[in-house]
Chains A and B, each alone.
Chain A
Amino acid sequence: MFKFPKATIPLLLVVALAGAFVIADAQSYPSHYGFGKPATVAQQEAWNDDVNGLTGAGLPPGHGSVAAGQTLYEAKCAVCHGDFGEGENRYPVLAGGNGTLTSARPVKTVGSYWPYAPTLYDYIRRAMPFNAPGSLTNDQVYAIAAYVLNLNNLVPANAVLDAKTLAAIKMPNRNGFINEHLKPDVHAVACMTNCKKSVTITSDLARTLGITPNETGSTPDERIITGSGPAAGPSAAPAGGSAKHVASAPVAFSQIAPIVAQRCAVCHAAHPTEAGFSAAPMGIMLDTPARIAALASKIKQQAVTSHRMPIGNMTGMTDKERALLGKWIDQGAKIH
Chain B
Amino acid sequence: MNHDEQHNPPKKIGRLGFLAKGATTIAGAALASAVPAAAAGETNPFAPRSPGMDELGETVIAHPYGMPIKYEASVIRRNVPFLTATEESSVSFTPLQDLDGIITPNGLCFVRDHGGTPIIDPAEHRLMIDGLVDRPLVFTMDELKRYPSESHIHFTECPANGGMEWRGAQLQSLQFTHGMVHCCEWTGVKLSVLMKEAGVKPQAKWMLAEGADAAAMTRSIPVWKALDDVMVVWSQNGERLRASNGYPVRLIVPGWQGNVNVKWLRRLKFGEEPWMTREETSKYTDLLADGKARQFAWIIETKSVITSPCPENPMKGKGFTEVTGLAWSGRGKITRVDVSTDGGINWHPAKLQEPVLSKCLTRFRFPWEWHGTSALLQSRAVDETGYVQPTLTQLRAVRGTNAIYNDNAIQTWHVNPDGKVDNVQVS
Contact = CB atoms under 8 A, between A and B. Distances in A.
Interface in B126-149: 128-130, 135-139, 143-144, 146-148
A277 interface: no
Given A119-B278, A133-B215, A177 B292 contact: yes
A194 B346 CA distance: 6
A223 B27 CA distance: 56
Contacts of A89: 85
A80 interface: yes
B146 A133 contact: no
A162 interface: no
A192 interface: yes
B193 to A, nearest CB: 8
A90 interface: yes
Interface string B232-245: 00000000000000
Contacts of A213: 74, 78, 95, 97, 173, 175-176, 312
Interface string B309-325: 00110000000000000
B2 interface: no
B197 A52 contact: no
Contacts of A34: 197
A195 B346 contact: yes
B170 A193 contact: no
A113 interface: yes
Nearest to B386: A190
A21 interface: no
Contact of A283 (B87, B148, B423): B87
B347 A36 contact: no
B389 interface: yes
Contact of A178 (B80, B171, B281, B292): B292
Contacts of B128: 39, 43-44, 47
A90 B83 CA distance: 8
A180 interface: yes
B218 A39 contact: no
Interface in A104-124: 104, 106, 108, 110, 113-116, 119-120, 122-123
Contact of A36 (B84, B85, B137): B137
B177 to A, nearest CB: 8
A214 B82 contact: no
A243 to B, nearest CB: 34
B122 to A, nearest CB: 16
Nearest to A211: B171
A54 B275 CA distance: 7
Interface residues of B, number: 106
Contacts of B376: 199, 201
A209 B176 CA distance: 13
B172 A193 contact: no
Interface string A47-87: 11011111100000000000000000000000010000000
Contacts of A205: 168-170
A23 interface: no
The winner among A31, A36, A106, A203 for most chain B CB atoms within 10 A is: A36
A120 B282 CA distance: 10
B346 A192 contact: yes
B86 interface: yes
Interface string B253-267: 000000000000011
Interface stretch (A140-148, A181-189, A230-238, A263-271): A181-189
B137 A181 contact: no
Given A188-B388, A205-B168, A199 B343 contact: yes
B138 A39 contact: yes
B137 A39 contact: yes
Nearest to B409: A186
A316 to B, nearest CB: 25
Nearest to A54: B276
Contacts of B402: 101, 104, 106
Interface in A205-232: 205-207, 209-214, 217-218, 220-221, 224-225
Interface in B293-349: 293-299, 301, 311-312, 336, 338, 342-348
Given A36-B143, A204-B422, A191 B347 contact: yes
A179 interface: yes
B196 interface: yes
B380 interface: yes
Contact of A176 (B215, B291, B345): B291
Interface of A: 29, 31-39, 43-44, 47-48, 50-55, 80, 89-92, 101-102, 104, 106, 108, 110, 113-116, 119-120, 122-123, 126-127, 130, 133-134, 176-182, 184-196, 198-207, 209-214, 217-218, 220-221, 224-225, 282-283
11 contacts: A50-B210, A52-B271, A54-B275, A116-B281, A186-B395, A199-B426, A201-B426, A203-B424, A205-B170, A206-B173, A212-B171
Interface of B: 74, 78-82, 84-89, 95, 97, 114-115, 128-130, 135-139, 143-144, 146-148, 168-173, 175-176, 193-194, 196-198, 208, 210, 214-216, 218, 266-267, 269, 271, 273-278, 281-282, 285, 287, 289-299, 301, 311-312, 336, 338, 342-348, 376, 380, 382, 387-391, 394-395, 398-399, 401-402, 414, 422-427
